[in-house]
Structure 1
Amino acid sequence: MVGREKKKAFNRIKDQISKKIAGWKGKLLSNAGREVLIKAVAQATPTYTMNCFKLPDSLCSEINSLVGSFWWGKKEKARKIAWVSWENLCKSKKEGGMGFRDLKAFNLALLAKQGWRIQQSLGSLLHRVLKAKYFVNSSFLDAQVGKRPSYI
């Protein structure tokens, strides 16, 4: 039940990206143009939300699929061949990829960064609030997920 509600809460992000991509599909864009739009807009849109919340894996996969379809030039009903897997496109350019972000891994990296900040800034407001609510008698790393936790 919680999984469906969580996905529903974050579905707005996918809808935003989908609308932007739909607007770009009609334009004749070079590979460089598509790359810039993907990196600067489609993959940057969910960054603020991913900094605070763990997005459902299925939502990250759907967004990656939308972006991948746009990259390969898939039109509404016409299917195009994806010559390279999404995992290979997410590799750095030095490694032969395009340097696209894998949203699931990027989401985890942003959350790990927040966890590091919580551990290092013991006097911060965020640390004090989370400690009072979630880990009163333990440390941040030993905190357990309680009943009906928030999405944060």
Structure 2
Amino acid sequence: MVGRSKYKAFRGIKEKVWQKLNGWKNQFLSFPGKEVLLKAVVQAIPTCHMSVFKLHVKLCKELAGMMARFWWGHMQNDKKTRLPKDRDGLGFRNLECFNQAMLAKQCWRILSNPSSLIAKVLKEKYFRNSDLLEPRLGYRPSLIWRSIRGALDLLKDDVEGGKW
């Protein structure tokens, strides 16, 4: 159940990430090892939630900060191990943008498969007499609908222009 505080509702994600990172911090991992753990495990933890809900910006920034602190090292003799400057662009996700992309993907699924269960349920509840591209927010909308509707702008121009 998601209440008024969206940040508190999803803080369990942050706790899971914290547990994973704390479990690894006492191990001597190489930079490629850290990279694989961050990309394959830590960035995968919020993916399921991000495909349905718009996560709070503060939560996304805190998750990115936790990953950055883990990446840049642990205190070893009061010095942090650092990656050489010539190794930029490691491909860590911008979690806010990834969240928007996952929600836009849900919009795309609703548009391309109107006979799916989620498309039928949302259409009946929120846009019964209109199209997904022109929905109203409705009375007491769910967080799922608010999240998906918020990502609709990413697809609107392409769909209306006939690019899909």
TM-score by structure 2 length?
0.76
1:148 to partner: Cα distance = 2.7
Q: Deviations over 1:39-89 (max 9, x none)?
A: 0110011111111111111111110000011000144xx6859889xxxxx
| Structure 1 runs, 4 residues or longer, greater than 6 Å off | 81-84
Q: Match of 2:31?
A: 31
SS at the partner of 2:45?
A: coil
CA RMSD of aligned residues (A): 2.4
Structure number, greater radius of gyration: 2
Change (3 A) 1:37 1:83: closer
Q: Match of 2:123?
A: 131
Change (3 A) 1:141 1:81: farther
1:134 to partner: Cα distance = 1.1
Q: Match of 2:101?
A: 109
- For residues 104 and 60 of structure 1, what CA distance do their matches in structure 2 show? 6
SS at the partner of 2:90?
A: coil
Preserved CA contact (<8 Å) 1:6 1:151: no
- Indicate yes or no: 2:145 matched with 1:150: no
Preserved CA contact (<8 Å) 1:51 1:110: yes
Q: Deviations over 1:89-147 (max 9, x none)?
A: xxxx8xx4001111111111111111011011111111110011111221112112234
Q: Match of 1:120?
A: 112
- 5+ long unaligned stretches in structure 1: 85-92
**Residues 34-53 of structure 1 aligned to structure 2 (within 5 Å):** 34-53=34-53
Q: Match of 1:61?
A: 61
Preserved CA contact (<8 Å) 2:126 2:138: yes
SS at the partner of 2:104?
A: helix
What code does the residue aligned with 1:68 have? Answer: A
TM-score by structure 1 length?
0.82
Q: Match of 2:13?
A: 13
- Indicate yes or no: 2:62 matched with 1:70: no
What code does the residue aligned with 1:116 have? Answer: W
Alignment size in residue pairs: 139
